[in-house]
């Protein structure tokens, strides 16, 4: 669950809706400087479904006692987060091996960034075991793709690596939009040549309108949106929070991106 502060309440956005935002960015991506997205369908699917493992959890989220609201993914217990991320590529495999590989690589990249020295030994062990399983799964999926004439070219190391980095980029931009991180930089973004840093900025006096520089899209401006529940108040009872969330009004969050020199 992504929790976006808005007025006196919040908009609770399910992780799959956040991932839908990533998928919209993926489908708009590409120009002469940044190159294209290939294989198109598989990469866009991987971006749009990268949080597939959290769909059921988001329907009945835990209460965060500290905030009195649904628990954000950033406040989720390590054990729960690992369990949900372990499920994601396995479920994705039922639809697309390539998308499943990108999801597995995304979860691996997330946990490779964790400083295991800051965790209790038992938790560090859980992370290491998760990483071992995901790398094994990734190797298995990659082997299947490489041995299949239909997918072998797209499974080349440089292609897969570029696509995994693109999913990371779209995920980062989606979170930055939802959580109002701008100004925000995303480093190591693939282009047709060398990687670049993308800078996301605000347009003064225009909520929901942001700039992106350098410009990675084909269109002159790009509009994306996702959905969440507008939740008011704070709760000390989990069932009461879930009931309130289930009947909370829907909110559509819209964002417009335009080049930095067009603001």
Q: How confident is the model at residue 66 (pLDDT cuts 50, 70, 90)?
A: very high
217, two tokens: 């899209």
How far apart are the C-alpha atoms of 50 and 139, rounded to whole Å?
Answer: 18
Three-class DSSP category at 14: coil
Spatial contact of 169 and 149, defined as CB atoms under 8 Å apart:
no
Q: Average pLDDT of the chain?
A: 96
What DSSP line would sit under 28-46, residue for residue?
HB-BTTTB--SSHHHHHHH
pLDDT value of residue 184: 97
Please tell me the number of Cα atoms within 13 Å of 27 on its side-chain side.
11
How far does Cα 206 stand from its chain's mean position? 25
Among candidate residues 109, 171, 104, the one with its CA nearest the CA of residue 143: 104
**DSSP single-letter state for residue 118:** G
Q: What is the largest CA-CA distance in the chain?
A: 56
What is the mean pLDDT of the segment spanning 85-111? 97
Q: Which of 251, 233, 185, 249 is nearest to 212 (CA)?
A: 185
**This prediction's pTM:** 0.96
Indicate if the pLDDT at residue 156 is higher than 90. Answer: yes
For residue 261, pLDDT over 80 is answered with: no
Question: Tens digits of per-residue pLDDT, 132-149?
Answer: 999 999 999 999 999 999
Helix (H, G, I), strand (E, B) or coil at 201: strand
Identify whether the C-beta of residue 186 lies closer than 8 Å to the C-beta of residue 70: no
Residue 205: pLDDT over 90: no
pLDDT at 262: 61
pLDDT tens for each residue of 228-256: 999 999 999 999 999 999 999 999 999 99
Return the exposure string of 92-113: e unless at least 16 CB atoms fall within 10 Å of the residue's CB, then b: bbeebbbbbbbbbbbbbeebee
Pairing of strands 9-13, 222-231: antiparallel
Tell me, rounded to whole angstroms, the distance of Cα 104 from its chain centroid: 13
Residue 106 binned pLDDT confidence (cut-offs 50, 70, 90): very high
CA distance 84 to 172: 19
In the chain, what are the domain boundaries? 2-262
Averaged pLDDT, 21-49 = 98
Inter-residue contact 253 to 4 (CB < 8 Å)? yes
> What are the residues whose beta carbons fall under 8 Å from the beta carbon of 184, sequence distance 6 or more?
172, 176, 199, 200
User: What mean pLDDT do residues 57-63 have?
Assistant: 95
At residue 88, does pLDDT exceed 90?
Answer: yes
Task: Give the orientation angle of helix 97-112 with respect to helix 121-147, to 10 degrees.
Answer: 150
What DSSP element (H or E) covers 3? strand 2-6
- The token pair that represents 252 in the structure block: 């559509």
Q: How far apart are CA 213 and CA 216, in angstroms?
A: 8
């Amino acid at each position: 669950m992504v929790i976006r502060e808005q007025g006196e309440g919040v908009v609770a956005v399910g992780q799959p809706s956040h991932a839908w935002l990533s998928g919209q960015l993926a489908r708009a991506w590409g120009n002469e400087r940044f190159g294209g997205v290939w294989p198109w369908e598989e990469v866009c699917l991987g971006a749009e479904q990268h949080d597939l493992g959290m769909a059921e959890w988001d329907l009945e989220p835990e209460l965060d006692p500290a905030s009195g609201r649904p628990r954000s993914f950033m406040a989720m217990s390590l054990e729960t987060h690992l369990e949900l991320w372990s499920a994601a590529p396995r479920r994705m495999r039922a639809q697309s091996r390539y998308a499943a590989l990108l999801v597995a690589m995304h979860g691996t990249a997330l946990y490779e960034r964790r400083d295991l020295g800051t965790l209790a030994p038992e938790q560090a062990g859980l992370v290491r075991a998760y990483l071992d399983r995901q790398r094994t799964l990734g190797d298995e999926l990659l082997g299947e793709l490489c041995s299949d004439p239909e997918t072998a070219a797209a499974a080349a190391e440089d292609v897969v690596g570029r696509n995994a980095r693109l999913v990371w980029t779209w995920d980062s931009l989606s979170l930055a939009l939802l959580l109002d991180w701008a100004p925000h930089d995303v480093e190591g973004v693939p282009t047709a040549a060398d990687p670049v840093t993308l800078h996301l900025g605000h347009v003064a006096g225009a909520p929901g309108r942001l700039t992106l520089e350098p410009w990675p899209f084909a269109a002159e401006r790009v509009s994306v949106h996702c959905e969440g529940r507008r939740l008011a108040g704070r709760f000390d009872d989990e069932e009461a929070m879930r009931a309130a969330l289930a009947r909370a009004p829907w909110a559509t969050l819209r964002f417009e991106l335009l080049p930095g020199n067009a603001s």
